Amino acid sequence: MAKIEVKNVSVSYTLHNWRTYSLKYKLLNFFKKKERSIEAHHALKKISFNLNDGDRLGVLGSNGSGKTTLLKVLAGDIFPTSGAVTISGKVLSIIQLADGIRMDMTGLENIILRYKLYNYSDKEIEILKKKAIEFAELDKFINQPVNTYSSGMILRLAFGIIINMEPDILILDEWILTGDPSFSEKFNQKLEEHVERSKILIFATHNEDLLDKYTNRKISLE
Protein backbone atom coordinates (compact mmCIF):
# COMPACT_ATOMS: atom_id res chain seq x y z
CA MET A 1 0.00 0.00 0.00
CA ALA A 2 1.35 3.44 -0.98
CA LYS A 3 1.17 6.26 1.54
CA ILE A 4 2.48 9.81 2.01
CA GLU A 5 2.31 11.82 5.22
CA VAL A 6 3.47 15.45 5.18
CA LYS A 7 3.44 17.14 8.58
CA ASN A 8 4.19 20.86 9.11
CA VAL A 9 6.85 20.94 6.38
CA SER A 10 8.72 24.20 5.85
CA VAL A 11 11.65 25.00 3.57
CA SER A 12 13.66 28.18 4.09
CA TYR A 13 16.65 29.59 2.22
CA THR A 14 19.19 32.17 3.30
CA LEU A 15 19.42 35.16 0.95
CA HIS A 16 22.41 37.47 1.16
CA ASN A 17 21.89 41.20 0.78
CA TRP A 18 24.05 42.14 -2.23
CA ARG A 19 24.54 45.72 -1.00
CA THR A 20 26.78 44.62 1.87
CA TYR A 21 29.24 43.20 -0.67
CA SER A 22 29.64 46.44 -2.67
CA LEU A 23 32.65 48.69 -2.04
CA LYS A 24 30.48 51.83 -2.16
CA TYR A 25 28.14 50.47 0.52
CA LYS A 26 31.06 49.49 2.77
CA LEU A 27 32.68 52.92 2.50
CA LEU A 28 29.43 54.78 3.20
CA ASN A 29 28.70 52.60 6.22
CA PHE A 30 32.23 52.27 7.58
CA PHE A 31 31.38 54.16 10.79
CA LYS A 32 27.78 53.02 10.97
CA LYS A 33 26.27 49.96 12.53
CA LYS A 34 26.49 47.20 9.94
CA GLU A 35 23.19 46.24 8.35
CA ARG A 36 22.21 42.58 8.46
CA SER A 37 23.45 40.83 5.33
CA ILE A 38 21.13 37.85 5.32
CA GLU A 39 17.41 37.38 4.95
CA ALA A 40 15.22 34.29 5.23
CA HIS A 41 13.12 33.26 2.25
CA HIS A 42 10.33 30.79 3.00
CA ALA A 43 9.76 28.57 -0.04
CA LEU A 44 7.27 26.43 1.94
CA LYS A 45 5.58 27.20 5.23
CA LYS A 46 3.98 24.53 7.46
CA ILE A 47 2.47 22.34 4.73
CA SER A 48 0.51 19.29 5.91
CA PHE A 49 -1.48 16.59 4.10
CA ASN A 50 -1.91 12.81 3.89
CA LEU A 51 -2.24 10.73 0.71
CA ASN A 52 -3.28 7.09 0.33
CA ASP A 53 -3.94 4.63 -2.51
CA GLY A 54 -6.18 6.21 -5.12
CA ASP A 55 -5.38 9.82 -4.24
CA ARG A 56 -4.49 12.15 -7.13
CA LEU A 57 -3.30 15.47 -5.73
CA GLY A 58 -3.20 18.58 -7.89
CA VAL A 59 -0.79 21.29 -6.72
CA LEU A 60 -1.82 24.83 -7.63
CA GLY A 61 0.04 28.10 -7.26
CA SER A 62 1.64 30.99 -9.08
CA ASN A 63 5.29 31.04 -10.12
CA GLY A 64 7.48 31.15 -7.02
CA SER A 65 4.77 29.81 -4.72
CA GLY A 66 6.76 26.65 -3.91
CA LYS A 67 5.15 24.02 -6.18
CA THR A 68 8.43 22.62 -7.49
CA THR A 69 10.02 22.87 -4.04
CA LEU A 70 7.22 20.75 -2.59
CA LEU A 71 7.64 18.15 -5.33
CA LYS A 72 11.40 18.02 -4.74
CA VAL A 73 10.82 17.50 -1.01
CA LEU A 74 8.48 14.58 -1.79
CA ALA A 75 11.03 13.17 -4.27
CA GLY A 76 13.80 13.35 -1.66
CA ASP A 77 15.83 15.92 -3.61
CA ILE A 78 15.43 18.61 -0.93
CA PHE A 79 15.32 18.13 2.84
CA PRO A 80 12.76 20.22 4.72
CA THR A 81 14.05 22.85 7.11
CA SER A 82 11.44 21.69 9.61
CA GLY A 83 8.61 19.18 9.74
CA ALA A 84 8.56 15.59 8.54
CA VAL A 85 7.75 13.58 5.41
CA THR A 86 6.96 9.85 5.58
CA ILE A 87 6.60 7.87 2.34
CA SER A 88 5.75 4.22 1.73
CA GLY A 89 6.13 2.95 -1.84
CA LYS A 90 8.46 3.30 -4.83
CA VAL A 91 8.64 6.91 -6.02
CA LEU A 92 9.27 8.22 -9.53
CA SER A 93 9.67 11.97 -9.98
CA ILE A 94 9.42 13.66 -13.37
CA ILE A 95 10.52 17.17 -12.50
CA GLN A 96 13.70 18.23 -14.31
CA LEU A 97 14.46 15.31 -16.56
CA ALA A 98 18.01 16.19 -17.58
CA ASP A 99 19.11 16.50 -13.93
CA GLY A 100 21.39 13.60 -13.10
CA ILE A 101 22.40 12.88 -16.69
CA ARG A 102 26.21 12.67 -16.77
CA MET A 103 27.51 14.42 -19.86
CA ASP A 104 30.91 12.69 -19.65
CA MET A 105 29.35 9.21 -19.71
CA THR A 106 27.81 7.33 -22.61
CA GLY A 107 24.07 6.98 -22.99
CA LEU A 108 24.28 3.32 -21.96
CA GLU A 109 26.37 4.12 -18.87
CA ASN A 110 23.80 6.75 -17.84
CA ILE A 111 20.97 4.23 -18.20
CA ILE A 112 22.74 1.64 -16.04
CA LEU A 113 23.75 4.22 -13.42
CA ARG A 114 20.23 5.65 -13.10
CA TYR A 115 18.67 2.20 -12.63
CA LYS A 116 21.30 1.28 -10.04
CA LEU A 117 20.44 4.46 -8.12
CA TYR A 118 16.81 3.30 -8.13
CA ASN A 119 17.97 -0.01 -6.58
CA TYR A 120 17.04 -2.28 -9.49
CA SER A 121 18.82 -5.65 -9.59
CA ASP A 122 21.31 -6.52 -12.35
CA LYS A 123 18.73 -8.84 -13.89
CA GLU A 124 16.09 -6.09 -13.91
CA ILE A 125 18.58 -3.58 -15.34
CA GLU A 126 19.39 -5.92 -18.22
CA ILE A 127 15.71 -5.94 -19.22
CA LEU A 128 15.08 -2.25 -18.53
CA LYS A 129 18.10 -0.95 -20.45
CA LYS A 130 16.96 -2.69 -23.65
CA LYS A 131 13.51 -1.14 -23.27
CA ALA A 132 15.03 2.30 -22.57
CA ILE A 133 17.25 2.22 -25.67
CA GLU A 134 14.40 1.06 -27.87
CA PHE A 135 11.99 3.68 -26.54
CA ALA A 136 14.52 6.53 -26.83
CA GLU A 137 15.38 5.48 -30.41
CA LEU A 138 19.07 5.98 -29.67
CA ASP A 139 20.49 2.54 -30.49
CA LYS A 140 23.03 3.97 -32.99
CA PHE A 141 24.29 6.52 -30.48
CA ILE A 142 23.95 4.70 -27.17
CA ASN A 143 27.71 4.06 -26.79
CA GLN A 144 28.66 7.66 -27.53
CA PRO A 145 29.30 10.26 -24.78
CA VAL A 146 26.19 12.29 -23.97
CA ASN A 147 28.15 15.52 -24.54
CA THR A 148 27.94 14.68 -28.26
CA TYR A 149 24.11 14.46 -28.13
CA SER A 150 21.73 17.22 -29.20
CA SER A 151 19.38 18.64 -26.55
CA GLY A 152 16.54 16.61 -28.07
CA MET A 153 18.56 13.39 -27.83
CA ILE A 154 19.35 14.07 -24.17
CA LEU A 155 15.65 14.48 -23.41
CA ARG A 156 14.84 11.26 -25.27
CA LEU A 157 17.51 9.46 -23.23
CA ALA A 158 15.99 10.78 -19.99
CA PHE A 159 12.48 9.84 -21.18
CA GLY A 160 13.63 6.35 -22.13
CA ILE A 161 15.10 5.78 -18.67
CA ILE A 162 12.12 6.85 -16.61
CA ILE A 163 9.24 5.71 -18.77
CA ASN A 164 9.88 2.01 -18.20
CA MET A 165 9.85 2.24 -14.41
CA GLU A 166 6.80 1.05 -12.48
CA PRO A 167 6.32 3.42 -9.53
CA ASP A 168 3.75 3.29 -6.76
CA ILE A 169 3.93 7.07 -6.46
CA LEU A 170 4.28 9.37 -9.47
CA ILE A 171 5.40 12.99 -9.00
CA LEU A 172 4.89 15.14 -12.07
CA ASP A 173 5.83 18.81 -12.59
CA GLU A 174 3.85 20.03 -15.60
CA TRP A 175 2.86 17.82 -18.54
CA ILE A 176 6.03 17.37 -20.60
CA LEU A 177 6.08 18.14 -24.31
CA THR A 178 8.84 17.34 -26.80
CA GLY A 179 9.68 18.97 -30.09
CA ASP A 180 9.33 15.79 -32.15
CA PRO A 181 5.58 15.21 -32.76
CA SER A 182 5.86 11.43 -33.29
CA PHE A 183 8.05 10.92 -30.21
CA SER A 184 5.86 13.27 -28.17
CA GLU A 185 2.78 11.21 -29.01
CA LYS A 186 4.53 7.99 -27.99
CA PHE A 187 5.80 9.50 -24.75
CA ASN A 188 2.45 11.05 -23.80
CA GLN A 189 0.74 7.69 -24.31
CA LYS A 190 3.23 6.04 -21.95
CA LEU A 191 2.92 8.86 -19.44
CA GLU A 192 -0.85 8.50 -19.37
CA GLU A 193 -0.40 4.78 -18.64
CA HIS A 194 1.86 5.68 -15.70
CA VAL A 195 -0.68 8.16 -14.38
CA GLU A 196 -3.44 5.56 -14.57
CA ARG A 197 -1.40 2.77 -12.96
CA SER A 198 0.22 4.78 -10.17
CA LYS A 199 -1.32 4.30 -6.74
CA ILE A 200 -0.70 7.95 -5.82
CA LEU A 201 -0.23 10.90 -8.18
CA ILE A 202 1.10 14.36 -7.27
CA PHE A 203 0.74 16.71 -10.22
CA ALA A 204 1.74 20.40 -10.32
CA THR A 205 0.60 22.45 -13.30
CA HIS A 206 -0.88 25.78 -14.34
CA ASN A 207 -3.33 23.95 -16.60
CA GLU A 208 -6.59 23.57 -14.68
CA ASP A 209 -8.11 21.40 -17.42
CA LEU A 210 -5.37 18.82 -16.84
CA LEU A 211 -5.91 19.03 -13.08
CA ASP A 212 -9.63 18.40 -13.54
CA LYS A 213 -8.85 15.43 -15.78
CA TYR A 214 -6.18 13.70 -13.70
CA THR A 215 -6.67 14.71 -10.05
CA ASN A 216 -9.32 14.23 -7.38
CA ARG A 217 -7.83 16.49 -4.69
CA LYS A 218 -6.18 19.91 -4.81
CA ILE A 219 -3.85 21.97 -2.66
CA SER A 220 -3.14 25.64 -3.31
CA LEU A 221 0.20 27.24 -2.41
CA GLU A 222 0.39 31.00 -1.97
What is the pLDDT at residue 180?
72
CB 92 within 8 A of CB 165: yes
What is the pLDDT at residue 94?
86
CB 205 within 8 A of CB 211: yes
What is the pLDDT at residue 91?
92
Q: Look at residues 47, 91, 85 and name the one whose alpha carbon lies nearest to residue 65.
A: 47
What is the pLDDT at residue 31?
55
Q: Could you tell me the pTM of the whole model?
A: 0.79
- Domain extent listing, the chain: 3-220
What is the pLDDT at residue 16?
57
201, with CB counted inside 10 A (0-12, 13-18, 19+), is buried
Could you report the per-residue pLDDT of 185-196, keeping only the tens digit for each?
Answer: 888 888 888 889
Sites in the chain below the pLDDT cut of 70: 15-40, 176-179
Distance (Å, rounded) from C-alpha 13 to C-alpha 26? 25
What is the pLDDT at residue 18?
47
**Residues 6 or more apart whose Cβ sits within 8 Å of residue 9:** 44, 46, 47, 48, 70, 73, 80, 82, 83, 84, 85
**Residues 6 or more apart whose Cβ sits within 8 Å of residue 37:** 16, 17, 20, 21
4, with CB counted inside 10 A (0-12, 13-18, 19+), is buried
Q: Look at residues 161, 156, 126 and name the one whose alpha carbon lies nearest to residue 141.
A: 156
Could you report the per-residue pLDDT of 7-45, keeping only the tens digit for each?
Answer: 999 999 876 554 555 555 555 565 555 555 556 678 899
DSSP 222: -
Query: Which CATH fold would you assign to the domain 3-220?
Result: Rossmann fold (3.40.50)
